[in-house]
Amino acid sequence: MKIKLINFKTTKNYQKNLEEVINILKNSSDFTLFPEVCLTGFDYENFDEVNKFGGIAIKELSKINKTFALTIILENKNYFCFFDNGLIKKRAKYNLFGYENRYFEIGEKPDIFEWKGLKIANLICFELRFIEYWEKFKGADLIIVPAMWGKERINHFKTLLKALSLSTQSQVIAVNSANESGYSCSFDAWQEGIESNIFEVETKIDLEKNKKIRKKLNIGIK
């Protein structure tokens, strides 16, 4: 499975950001991941416009016959959105950070959903710190983490992602906003993979390898 990780830098022009995302998807891989709120950023001064644009963005992105994920602000919630020839999964961020508590409504706790026979889990940025989800995600095939993690804590982000892949024996892929500290990674259950801070990186992931690792290092995960 080929994946693309996009270290996207958000501008103040929402429409321009959306057009860039659409252009990137024209030459996308089997799956493409963008960082948290890449279309608008946390533009609290224009929050009504941000919410309005979220509806427009979902409508436009649903027309694209590609598989990808990002988060979109809509209805005062920060939604993880997974598209596969249309929007097939939407979950609002549950664990809010800092000023987010002043503007956002709490969503639903992270969960697992199925896509093409795979168990997919997702964590939005700050949710990565909550170990209760790690336990829940043991056995997931793929854990997706879009983020806008503060640059002063970027080493925490990297360490947690590596630990998540080892503890769940799952494939973990993540992208952090280039507006903070552009970073993307893909780690398998052996903590092998790639780390990058360039704009766009493409890599292959072998989900069968993780199943072999679970047998070799048997900690009770199937």
Whether 133 is in a domain gets the answer: yes
Containing structural domain, residue 152 = 2-216
- Report if residue 15 sits inside a domain: yes
Residue 222 resides in a domain: no
Indicate the angle between helix axes 14-25 and 47-61, nearest 10 degrees: 20
- Across the range 60-68, mean pLDDT stands at 97
pLDDT tops 90 at residue 195: yes
- Give the pLDDT score at 107: 98
* Residue 175: predicted pLDDT: 98
pLDDT tens digits, one per residue of 155-169: 999 999 999 999 999
The structure's pTM equals: 0.97
Task: For 173-188, write each residue's pLDDT tens digit.
Answer: 999 999 999 999 999 9
From CA 108, how far away is CA 95, in angstroms rounded? 9
Which CATH number do you get for residue 65? 3.60.110.10
Q: With H, G, I as helix, E, B as strand and everything else as coil, classify residue 46.
A: helix
The confidence band for 27, taking pLDDT boundaries of 50, 70 and 90, is confident
Residue 222: per-residue pLDDT: 84
Note whether residue 182 is domain-resident.
yes
* Coarse DSSP helix, strand, coil percentages of the chain, rounded to the nearest 5 percent: 35, 30, 40
Under DSSP, is residue 155 helix (H, G, I), strand (E, B) or coil?
helix
Q: What is the pLDDT of residue 184?
A: 98
Q: Is residue 221 part of a domain?
A: no
Phi and psi at residue 167, to the nearest 5°:
-75, -30
Q: How many structural domains are present in the chain? A: 1
